[in-house]
Amino acid sequence: MPKATLPSKDEVKARMTTIEAWKLPKQTSSVAPADVWTNADQDPVPLERRTWGSWAFCGYWLSDLLTVATWQTGSSILIVGLGTNDAILIMFVSGICNMIATILNGHVGATLHVPFPIAIRSSYGYWFSYFCVVSRAILAAFWLGIQSVGGGAAVGQAITCIWPSFATLPNTLPPSAGITTKSMVSYVIFHLIQFPFLLIPSHKLQKLFLVKSILVPPMAVGMLIWICVKANGVNAILNQPATLTGSACAWAWLAALTSITGGWYSLSVNISDFTRMSRDSRAHLWQAPFIPGIKIITSLFGIVAMGAGRVVYGQDMWTPLELIAKWEGSGGRFLGFVCSMLWVLAQVSCNISANSFSFANDVTSLFPKWINIRRGTILCSLLGGFALVPWLMVSSAYVFLSFMSGYAIFLGPMSGMLTCDFWLIQRGKYDVPGLYDPEGRYRYWHGINWRALLTTVLIMTPLLPGLANAVSPKTVSIDAGLKNLYNISWLYGYHATILVYWLLNYFFPAKGVAVVKTIQASEDEMNVSESIEVAGGTSVDGSVEEKKVSATEKAL
């Protein structure tokens, strides 16, 4: 992969005057056919860049889950009327669900070393896979914005700790903006802080994760201890009762579970973007205990803080920054500044690990002539950070949970399709060069696998009325059955997709797609790749040269 360099003065001048100057030089791919425009960022990760071991994945999840947004997730469950016991159980079950799908789909990248936009072509088809890539990219951009709102709030609190008058900065923005002048200033400063970190190459991110893993957890635990002492223990805090009862409580419980699980289901879809950098195919398995463990611990901070706020201050405090605002005196303000900046680090780290890099992988596969990983991360910052006005998404707990649950209807089927295709249909054996060839074995019918298309339509259609109702409850009314189905959209979407897609492939198997062993991108890879016999199905020669699939078979 070529080393990135700064553009020359002439190049900068050209880019200011013509679009053609932004075109990337055509790179020679180790996998894609010569007539396919691609770049090295989409190729299978070479051996020298597979630097992620077991602890790197543990640090990754600390980076992704120890954030202001996760803190808010736990407390937002209490705001909608559920109790602390409900919130803790929801976070645990959600973590288990996320873990199972993430481990299963992570094995795709760990064994094939290809990113999500390439891996998804096996199940959806070369061109239909772009639907998944675009959907995932939109979600990544939204999440970068949401995490940036938390980062901007942390910057604002840090500035207030130094200059208290900043808290009363006059607002010159209209109410329709949905944000104050103070918040916008803080938000822009956060993006300026974050920008240099967006340029770090993905295989060098472990150091950033390590710094966050060392500094942020002790700070969060310290804040938790402080509020517990302030509330004279945790008994009153952990016994916040639910205000809902009966069926209303049950369906609110399922709706919250769907929201929380769906909000992090995106990583079960594109986890290959990171597991592709594994040193071996088992390094990513260490994620298993960390995903539910870190998720429940981090959200517990928000749950305890919310309960403590009600006990000590008589108000809902659903972010850690609201606790910091209660620290008075010069010593308290200094400590508040340090903690606020550590939360800034937490948000920056999460945006890089979970959002900007994932978005960059997606848009690089869509526009390889114009965008590489570095440009993609910058574009994500501009699009997700400003164009999508993310501060409107986190304006209330209801809006926050509605947004998270809405995207579950897209992510559940995608995640289920990946799981089913890798483990049940292809049995873990792929033609890696074929994934890069628009005329290869994964072309199906005009680049569309009709089995995936039909499965997607069948699974998503019953959920669309529920999505419309969630987005606009005052104007769209639906019956209770459709609403309840939407409340379990992730559970229904993931498992129903696996069943329907498997049945379609069982009764109508795609011809000329199955291989007896994985065809890697190079001879070195082929020598070390694992071979597992295909149980049934069409037997195909496993050599790289085997691409003579008839037009009829491709169409099917």
Q: How far, in Å, CA of 383 to CA of 134, rounded?
A: 14
Sign of the Cα torsion 424, 426, 427, 428 reads: negative
Instruction: Quickly tell me which residue has 């094939």 as its tokens.
Output: 112
The pLDDT tens digits for 125-183 are: 999 999 999 989 988 998 899 889 989 999 999 999 999 999 999 999 999 898 999 99
How far from the centroid of its chain's Cα atoms is residue 319's Cα? 21
Domain-located, residue 283 = yes
SS3 content of the chain, % helix, strand, coil (to 5): 70, 0, 30
Quote the domain boundaries for residue 146.
54-409
Q: What is the mean pLDDT of residues 495-510?
A: 97
Do 276 and 432 meet the contact criterion of CB atoms below 8 Å apart?
A: no
Domain-located, residue 544 = no
Task: Indicate whether 262 pLDDT > 80.
Answer: no
Task: Indicate whether 214 pLDDT > 60.
Answer: yes
Domain-located, residue 142 = yes
Task: Indicate whether 397 pLDDT > 60.
Answer: no
Q: How far, in Å, CA of 154 to CA of 170, rounded?
A: 19
How far from the centroid of its chain's Cα atoms is residue 522's Cα? 30
Instruction: Quickly tell me which residue has 């207030």 as its tokens.
Output: 160
Residue 396 has a pLDDT of 59
Residue 553 has a pLDDT of 41
Structure tokens at 403: 């947004």
The pLDDT tens digits for 71-114 are: 888 778 888 888 888 988 999 999 999 999 999 999 999 999 99
Domain-located, residue 515 = no
Q: Choose among 438, 463, 511, 487: nearest CA to 127.
A: 438
Domain-located, residue 441 = no
When mean pLDDT is compared over 60-64, 162-166, 293-297, 407-411, the highest value belongs to: 162-166
CATH at 66: 1.10.4160.10
Q: How far, in Å, CA of 121 to CA of 283, rounded?
A: 24
Q: What is the mean pLDDT of residues 375-388?
A: 94
The CA radius of gyration of the chain, in Å to the nearest whole number, is 24
Task: Indicate whether 5 pLDDT > 70.
Answer: no
- Please report which residue ranges of 367-407 form alpha helices under DSSP H: 373-382, 397-406
Task: Indicate whether 493 pLDDT > 70.
Answer: yes
Domain-located, residue 474 = no
The pLDDT tens digits for 435-463 are: 999 999 999 999 999 999 999 999 999 99
Residue 126 has a pLDDT of 97
How far from the centroid of its chain's Cα atoms is residue 294's Cα? 16
Query: Collapsing DSSP states into helix, strand and coil, what is residue 448?
Result: strand
DSSP 53: -
Structure tokens at 517: 């062993």
Q: How far, in Å, CA of 157 to CA of 333, rounded?
A: 10
Q: How far, in Å, CA of 526 to CA of 529, rounded?
A: 5
Domain-located, residue 10 = no
Neighbouring C-beta atoms of residue 389, cutoff 10 Å: 13
| Higher local confidence (pLDDT), 267 or 184 | 184
| Higher local confidence (pLDDT), 280 or 19 | 280
**DSSP per-residue codes, 52-91:** B-HHHHHHHHHHHHSSHHHHHHHHHHHHTT--HHHHHHHH
Q: What is the mean pLDDT of residues 177-190?
A: 96
pLDDT interval class at 327 (50, 70, 90): very high
| Higher local confidence (pLDDT), 440 or 204 | 440
Residue 401 has a pLDDT of 55
**DSSP per-residue codes, 173-222:** S-GGGSS-HHHHHHHHHHHHHHGGGGGS-GGGTHHHHHHHHHHHHHHHHH
Structure tokens at 270: 């594109």
Q: What is the mean pLDDT of residues 263-275?
A: 87
Domain-located, residue 431 = no
Task: Indicate whether 427 pLDDT > 80.
Answer: yes
Task: Indicate whether 215 pLDDT > 70.
Answer: yes
Q: How far, in Å, CA of 12 to CA of 16, rounded?
A: 6
Counted domains in the chain: 1
Return mean pLDDT, the chain.
86
Q: How far, in Å, CA of 277 to CA of 112, rounded?
A: 10
Residue 353 has a pLDDT of 83
Structure tokens at 143: 């999440």
Task: Indicate whether 301 pLDDT > 70.
Answer: yes
